Amino acid sequence: MFEAKKFVENSMKDIQKIVGKSRVISACSGGVDSTVTTVLVHKAVGDKLVAVFIDDGLRREGEPEFVVKTLKSLGIKTKFVDAKAEFFAVFKGKTDAEEKRKAFRDKFYKTLGKAAREEQIEFIAQGTIKADVIETVGGIKSQHNVLEQIGINPEIYGYKILEPLRELFKPDVRKVARELGLPKEISERMPFPGPALSLRVLGEVTPEKIALVRKATEIVEEETEKLGTFQNFAVLHNDKATGIKKGKRVYGNIVTVRIVDSQDAVTAKARQVPYEVLMRISERITGEIPSVVRCLYDITDKPPSTIEFE
């Protein structure tokens, strides 16, 4: 039986021992894993920690503001890095899922490395959890935050890595969040991948496509808030389909909605969402986003699918 209180005590001692007199930067995206990591390290080393929020232009509506506000309210020193243009530049011309992940990972660690040098920091804390490591080692997909297991020495980016949650699965991370007294908005937050909306635009990632999928995601989240599912989101396809808008034929975009139940993201089941909810989502997505002519619902479990499309 996992004991969150014990975990917090032991992990604080470990962090203090590893870090010593050094300073630490924590890459915080606002998700439960990275926020718990940030708070845990802050509890262990206090002001020797600086949290960094990288605005990569791929976050959900209102997310950058939410994360910065949350960290400040917890009394954690926070650095905001606007790297939107740099991230979109690296996605140019990349259409393959793993290539996109690699591009994201490289830009992410270079940006963090730069912040670490500016802050004269030796350690980077990040919220890697057990499922990330398992899937990467198992060859399912290279989670962007798993480095050593795929043969990348993090020191090439100029720092050492601190991963206090790497032995935990998501439900235990949530227990630690509650133990640390984090608000429900964090402890019960829906999982969201590190490479964010870039995994939900199939094919090349552009600012316009991200804006589209951001809007569709907002609609899905609003309409499914009460379902209590593990993850609910929208995906923009790379191909087009014929439809009718304002009485005229248009060759427009396709959006798929994915709503799944899961415990730990290792397996998942597509939720049998009431038809009225799906209809409402479809009407809103095709009505509020002018270029979308078709809205689909994904009924596939994991396996054989994965949760994300990329």
The contact set with ligand XMP (CB under 6 A) reads: 101, 135, 141, 143-145, 191, 193-195, 199, 231, 265, 302, 306-308
The per-type count for the chain, helices as H runs and strands as E runs, is: 10, 9
The strand ranges marked E within the chain are 24-27, 49-55, 78-82, 123-125, 160-162, 231-245, 248-261, 269-270, 292-297
Closest approach, Cβ 225 to ligand XMP, in A, equals 18
CB-based contact 209:201 (threshold 8 Å): yes
Phi and psi at 25, nearest 5°, equal -110, 140
* Residue that has been written with the tokens 């926020």 in this structure: 35
Nearest CB to ligand XMP, comparing residues 140 and 244? 140
Shortest separation between residue 255's beta carbon and ligand XMP, angstroms: 17
Output the smallest distance, CB 139 to ligand XMP, in A.
12
CA dihedral (258, 263, 269, 273) positive or negative: negative
Nearest-angstrom CA–CA distance, 258 and 241? 19
Nearer to ligand XMP among residue 36 and residue 45 (C-beta): 36
Taking the complex as a whole, how short is the minimal distance between the CB of residue 58 and ligand XMP, in angstroms?
12
Of the two residues 143 and 282, which places its CB atom closer to ligand XMP in the complex?
143
Minimum CB distance to ligand XMP smaller for 42 or for 189: 189
- 44 vs 260, beta carbon nearer ligand XMP: 260
207-224 helix and 275-288 helix, angle to the nearest 10 degrees = 150
- Min CB(265)–ligand XMP separation in Å: 4
